[in-house]
């Protein structure tokens, strides 16, 4: 009898197909996806500004304020994601997996 995966298991396994469980690849994927989302919202903001200036539609101006707030928070998220991404790249590049650390050094760092 073949055991089938549930739809929920399939949904949550999709991310592993992209990142293969690597946290650095996940950080890269998230960072690039944030840029795509940022430009998408920016495009919608520009289109709403165009509608406002062409037709003096104040509903479009209201949406511009909403989109401006979304972009502001998206920018903050991208900044943090970029810092985490760069930190993970530096850590992954500088890790020597064969190095054995001294116990006294680790205790000093823990204080």
Among the listed residues 31, 30, 26, 38, the one whose alpha carbon sits nearest the alpha carbon of residue 75:
38
pLDDT tens per residue across span 24-38: 788 888 889 999 999
pLDDT at residue 97, as a whole number: 57
pLDDT at residue 107, as a whole number: 80
- For the question of whether the overall pTM of this predicted structure is more than 0.85, the answer is no
Q: Where are the alpha helices (DSSP H) in the chain?
A: 7-19, 23-55, 58-94, 103-110
Average pLDDT, the chain: 86
pLDDT at residue 19, as a whole number: 79
- Residue 96 pLDDT > 70, yes or no? no
pLDDT tens per residue across span 35-70: 999 999 999 999 999 999 999 999 999 999 999 999
Higher-confidence residue of 64 and 97: namely 64
Higher-confidence residue of 56 and 98: namely 56
Higher-confidence residue of 6 and 49: namely 49
Measure the CA–CA gap between 61 and 48, rounded to whole angstroms: 7
**Do residues 52 and 36 lie in contact, with contact meaning Cβ atoms separated by under 8 Å?**
no
């Amino acid at each position: 009898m073949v055991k089938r995966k549930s739809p929920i298991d399939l949904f949550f396994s999709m991310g592993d197909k992209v990142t293969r469980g690597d946290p650095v690849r996940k950080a890269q994927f998230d960072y690039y996806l944030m840029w795509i989302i940022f430009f998408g919202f920016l495009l919608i903001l520009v289109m709403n500004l165009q509608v406002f200036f062409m037709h003096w539609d104040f509903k479009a101006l209201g949406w511009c304020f909403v989109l401006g707030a979304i972009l502001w928070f998206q920018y903050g998220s991208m900044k943090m994601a970029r810092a985490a991404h760069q930190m993970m790249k530096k850590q992954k590049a500088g890790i020597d997996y064969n190095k054995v650390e001294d116990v006294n050094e680790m205790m000093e760092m823990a204080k």
